């Protein structure tokens, strides 16, 4: 049971704040203003968030909110909001709720009549799409697929008849196998691997799966990769 709010006190607001995915200068002016003003910040890794806050000379009360134990923290955060205090939700990088913690808290806050305010900003999804050079009229965002090869194959098979550009988040150690499965199941489609986005060693690798596999086998890839798979090119004939 959540504590009953003071009927004479307005509810707090829950801000969904996008934070940099690598370059700390990508924090927006509005995001900085919100982080300055809120009473509490719910975050994944307090160490990562403190690094960001230190960069901007901020000291805040942090609430650890991470998967898979995020549901345990929801009652506490809801009580804070019902008590009239504002909370900012951030993830380690990018936009909360986009393959990051956030959905359960947001859903619960809505049921309590709490106002949800998005503060847009950095996202690996949009950053990669904007520079990939693949069609963006229709985009199918998958996020993190199952690490198991059998489940990954079933997922790709379900996309065979799906139109558009697919976007996945893939750990570096899985890139070779993933590209091999794309070639086996989806065919010779254009693939773009975006890694270390906004960082010093930002890189875009482009080609077909057959072209990328030998490249990846001879390359040490670090950092989370965003993999984009475009539609089969139309024949010029």
Residue 19, domain CATH: 3.40.1010.10
What is the pLDDT at residue 192?
98
56, 94: one domain: yes
Strand partners, 118: 16
**Helices (H), strands (E): how many in the chain?**
8, 10
Distance (Å) of CA 154 to CA 178, 186, 213, 226: 12, 12, 21, 20
pTM comes to: 0.89
pLDDT in tens, the chain (237 residues): 444 545 567 999 999 999 999 999 999 999 999 999 999 999 999 999 999 999 999 999 999 998 887 889 999 999 999 999 999 999 999 999 998 889 999 999 999 999 999 999 999 999 999 999 999 999 999 999 998 999 999 999 999 999 899 999 999 999 999 999 999 999 999 999 999 999 999 999 999 999 999 999 988 888 789 999 999 877 644
1 within a domain of the structure (yes/no): no
86 within a domain of the structure (yes/no): yes
Residue 228 to residue 237: CA distance in whole angstroms: 26
Task: From 91, 81, 114, select the one nearest 18 (Cα to Cα).
Answer: 91
What is the pLDDT at residue 7?
58
| Domain count along the chain | 2
107, 131: one domain: no
Residue 194 to residue 229: CA distance in whole angstroms: 11
What is the pLDDT at residue 143?
94
Residue at a domain's end among 63, 92, 119: 119
What is the pLDDT at residue 6?
52
111, 195: one domain: no
What is the pLDDT at residue 236?
46
Residue 121 to residue 118: CA distance in whole angstroms: 9
Q: Locate 86 and state its tokens.
A: 């504002």
Contact in structure between 159 and 186 (CB atoms under 8 Å): yes
Helix (H) or strand (E) holding 42: strand 40-43
What is the pLDDT at residue 235?
64
130, 72: one domain: no
As a whole number of Å, the end-to-end CA separation of the chain is 66
Distance (Å) of CA 27 to CA 65, 184, 192: 20, 40, 26
Contact in structure between 170 and 178 (CB atoms under 8 Å): yes
């Amino acid at each position: 049971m959540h504590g009953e709010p003071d009927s004479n006190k307005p509810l707090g607001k829950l801000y969904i704040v996008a934070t940099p995915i690598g370059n700390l200068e990508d924090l927006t002016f509005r995001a900085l203003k919100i982080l300055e003003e809120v009473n509490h910040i719910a975050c994944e890794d307090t160490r990562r968030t403190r690094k960001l806050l230190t960069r901007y000379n901020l000291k805040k009360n942090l609430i650890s909110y991470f998967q898979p134990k995020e549901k345990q923290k929801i009652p506490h955060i809801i009580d804070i909001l019902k008590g009239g205090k504002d909370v900012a939700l951030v993830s380690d990088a990018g936009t909360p709720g986009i393959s990051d913690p956030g959905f359960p808290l947001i859903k619960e806050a809505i049921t309590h009549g709490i106002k949800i305010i998005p503060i847009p900003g950095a996202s690996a999804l949009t950053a990669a799409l904007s520079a990939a050079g693949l069609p963006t009229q229709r985009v199918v965002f998958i996020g993190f697929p199952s690490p198991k090869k059998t489940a990954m194959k079933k997922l790709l098979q379900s996309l065979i008849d799906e139109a558009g550009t697919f976007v996945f988040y893939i750990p570096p150690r899985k890139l070779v196998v993933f590209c091999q499965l794309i070639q086996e199941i989806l065919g010779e489609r254009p693939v773009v691997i975006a890694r270390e986005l906004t960082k010093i060693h930002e890189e875009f690798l482009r080609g077909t799966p057959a072209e990328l596999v030998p490249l990846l086998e001879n390359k040490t890839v670090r950092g989370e990769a965003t993999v984009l798979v475009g539609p089969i090119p139309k024949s010029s004939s």
